[in-house]
C-alpha cells in the first residue's frame, strides 16, 4: 500500500469579522491562496451554514487539485492561528 503524499491543506481562519478559507502548503501558511470569505455572523450560530461553507471550499479544491483528498481535520498549530486578526 502506498503512502499518500500531502499536497496541501485547507485552512480556515477568523480575521476580524470574517471567516477566511485558504489553500496552503502542508507545513506553512506562507503564500497561502485565499479562496473564500464569509462574515462570521453568517456562520457563528448556524452549524448547517458553517458546514455548507466548508463543503463549498472543499468541493472547489477537489475540482482544481485532482490529487486533493480530505483525510482528517485538525486544529492548526498555535503559531498559525490568527485569532481575530
Which residues on adjacent β-strands are paired with residue 20? 13, 37
pTM: 0.75
Nearest-angstrom CA–CA distance, 19 and 8: 19
Q: Is 79 domain-assigned?
A: no
Residue 2 predicted with pLDDT over 70: no
DSSP state of 72: -
Q: Which three cell numbers stand for residue 19?
A: 471567516
Look at residue 74 and tell me whether its pLDDT is greater than 90: no
Residue 61 is assigned to a structural domain of this protein = yes
pLDDT the model gives residue 44: 95
In a domain, 76, yes or no: no
How confident is the model at residue 41, as a pLDDT? 96
Give the pLDDT confidence of 10-67 residue by residue, as tens digits. Answer: 999 999 999 999 998 888 899 999 999 999 999 999 999 999 999 999 888 888 877 6
80 assigned to some structural domain: no
- How many domains, the chain? 1
Task: Give the model's pLDDT for residue 81.
Answer: 57
Amino acid at each position: 500500500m502506498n503512502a499518500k503524499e500531502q499536497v496541501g491543506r485547507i485552512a480556515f481562519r477568523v480575521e476580524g469579522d470574517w471567516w477566511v478559507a485558504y489553500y496552503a502548503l502542508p507545513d506553512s501558511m506562507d503564500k497561502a491562496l485565499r479562496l473564500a470569505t464569509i462574515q462570521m455572523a453568517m456562520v457563528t450560530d448556524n452549524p448547517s451554514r458553517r458546514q455548507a461553507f466548508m463543503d463549498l471550499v472543499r468541493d472547489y479544491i477537489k475540482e482544481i487539485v485532482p490529487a486533493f483528498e480530505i483525510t482528517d481535520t485538525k486544529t492548526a498549530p498555535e503559531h498559525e492561528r490568527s485569532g481575530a486578526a
